[in-house]
Amino acid sequence: MPSSYVIALGSNRRGRHGAPADEVRAALAAIGGVVMMSPLVATAPLGPARRRFVNTAALIESDDSPPELLARLKAIESAFGRRRGQRWTDRVIDLDIILWSGGAWASDGLTVPHPDFRRRAFVLRPVAAIVPDWRDPMTGLTMRQLAARIR
């Protein structure tokens, strides 16, 4: 039986698929299993990145376990030209597992729910737009409640 995942997607550099919004759409197609996606939003960068980001969140269904899905997302990032290294820099695509219908997961290199999503409006607002009643397994709050607390 497939699991449901919420994936955050972001881009602020042109790539082989075109402008950042096109990169995000192409990444969604590569991931597959998309049930729903939030509207694309333009957001200010964090850290040293210079360009505005295009962000969205998608609800997907997948037979992958959380580590298998993470490996697949990293392979997609690499295929899109994502270069590993500095955090918060300009990037063609960024794909993160935010939530999983199985609750919480922790292993080397993967923590679900994503440890920073509650503090990031550019992630939380799109997530709340598609799964407002999903509960954070760590706090028990719904995505709608979490989004209402963020600026």
For the chain, the first-to-last Cα distance in angstroms comes to 37
Residues recognised as catalytic: 82, 91, 94, 96
Q: Is the Cβ–Cβ distance between 128 and 151 less than 8 Å?
A: no
> Hey, what amino acid is at 95?
L
